[in-house]
A = this chain, B = another copy of it.
Amino acid sequence: MSNIDNIREHLDLMHRDLLREELNHLSLSEMLDLWQEMGEDEAMEIFLLLQLDQKVELITHLSEAEQEWLLKSLSLEKIRELLDEIEPDDLADIIQAVSHDVRSSVWKSLSEEARRETQFLLKFDSDDAAGLMTPRYIALRSNITVEQAIHFIRQGVDDIETIYYVYVVDQLQRIQGVISLREILFSNNSEVIGSKMSTNVISVQEDTDQEEVARILEDYDFIALPVTDRYNRLLGIITFDDVIDVIREEQTEDIYKMGAMDGSSDIYLETGIFRLLKKRIPWLILLLLTGTITTNVLALTDDILSAAAFLVLFIPVITQTGGNSGTQSSTLMIRGIAMGHVDFADIGKVVLKEFLVGVFMGVILGGVIILRSVYLPPGIAWYEGLVIGLSLIFVVLFSTIIGAVAPLLIHKLGWDPTVIAAPLMSTVIDVTGLSIYTFTAKMLLGL
């Protein structure tokens, strides 16, 4: 951070030249750190002193609200200069993010070509393959030679996103093959591209879901994937860096869903109170309402609880431990489903495994709770401890199995187990856990 301290000092002392010098060496993450620490006026002053490629890097990595603010504050001339350098896929994202006013001034500042490219990209859903692609790739015909191809590439269309794969298309723009720059360079000058290219092209359709795109690129370790329409015509390419962004975004969404929240990935400090509320309160209300079924279970077993008052003390322990064991097995299933390692067809194996694991865990936890509650305060009697321990075995076993089966079933029904499993499970486990608890106690105590 000493970089940032230097910058602060130069800014305070108005050393413009030193400041510019210092800023030119900043990496993206340093720029983002600096941006977060600065007030609006400082941030704008800094932004104007950055080099053009730094500006482009920074603006494409800012949050939507910051992009909006920046584009609103810059002069039309500055905006034009900036937009000329931004890749069309990033441009399409910015245009979708900003408000109507900013959008129309951005639109006016675009060159004819950029407007055409962006318009083309805006047709597609941003969660689909086509929403991630750039139309700037290299395509050649199959009958040219390696030497011609190298010459063509070196002539260098400068705004191509990657030159490391070259796609071969026919007159109708249909993909015929693909060849990496590496393969081109390793071939003899006189060879024909068509004879060296791979004709078994791995591509995605324009409407392939972005998670599927990520999995394919990962499986093949490709730098880029071509996107085609249903006539196999090449529309654009998706590069690995955009796929990494997708993986990160999906990761945040999954973690939020596991934390019982709406999955959209916002940046916390920039999210308003009401947006946070909207993200959180629906789940809390749903969980509260389903959770209140436990009040009915407890009301029904009122007589048992008053006949054996020690049972009340262990209500939170029973529901917690049931919840924890269920969360473990459901987490294993949810992750296994997401990674493609488990599905509904494996339910037999899963139930057997969870039954065995559940029995072991139940016996161990039951033993622990007996020793803990008899020998330490509240120091209940041995037979009371036995009641608690035995009930806990059944609760753990049941929760473990339900926790594993529910996500498999939900996935089989076509829903997202990450979202549905948590509320459903916590209610089912609490309600049945408490029923198992009071029923076991009733039997053992002869009530």
Contacts and interface: CB of A to CB of B under 8 A. Distances in A.
Interface string A287-309: 11101101110110010011001
A319 B317 contact: no
Contacts of A267: 336, 339, 341
B255 A254 contact: yes
Contacts of A291: 316-317, 320-321
A298 B312 contact: yes
Contacts of A255: 254-255, 258, 331, 334-335
Given A330-B259, A335-B252, A295 B182 contact: no
A331 B259 contact: yes
Interface in A235-273: 240-241, 243-245, 247-248, 251-252, 254-256, 258-261, 267-269, 273
A315 interface: yes
B430 A316 contact: yes
A203 B296 CA distance: 62
A330 B373 CA distance: 30
A139 interface: no
Nearest to A376: B292
Interface string A349-393: 110010011001100110011001100011000000000000000
Contacts of A353: 273, 276
A294 B316 contact: yes
A284 B368 CA distance: 11
B260 A327 contact: yes
A357 B158 CA distance: 49
Contact of A281 (B200, B256, B331, B364): B364
Contact of A341 (B181, B240, B269): B269
B247 A244 contact: yes
Interface in A1-52: 25, 27-29
A134 interface: no
Given A256-B331, A324-B283, A317 B341 contact: no
Interface stretch (A91-99, A106-114, A116-124, A216-224): A216-224
A230 interface: no
A140 interface: no
Given A269-B341, A299-B378, A317 B288 contact: yes
A329 to B, nearest CB: 8
Nearest to A181: B181
Contacts of A340: 29
B268 A434 contact: no
A96 B306 CA distance: 60
A76 interface: no
Contacts of A261: 328, 331-332
B377 A296 contact: yes
Contacts of A324: 260, 283-284, 287-288
Contacts of A281: 360-361, 364-365
Contacts of A413: none
A154 B364 contact: no
B434 A365 contact: no
A185 B202 contact: no
Given A200-B25, A244-B218, A247-B248, A312 B305 contact: yes
A439 interface: no
A361 B292 contact: no
Contacts of A285: 364-365, 368
A294 B269 contact: no
A164 interface: yes
A313 interface: yes
Interface string A200-215: 1010000000000001
Given A294-B313, A316-B430, A319-B320, 10 more contacts: A255-B258, A258-B258, A267-B339, A267-B341, A268-B342, A269-B346, A277-B360, A284-B321, A294-B320, A302-B309
23 contacts: A27-B219, A29-B219, A154-B186, A163-B185, A218-B245, A221-B241, A223-B223, A251-B251, A256-B332, A259-B331, A261-B328, A267-B336, A273-B357, A280-B325, A283-B324, A285-B365, A288-B365, A291-B316, A294-B317, A305-B312, A306-B309, A316-B434, A319-B320
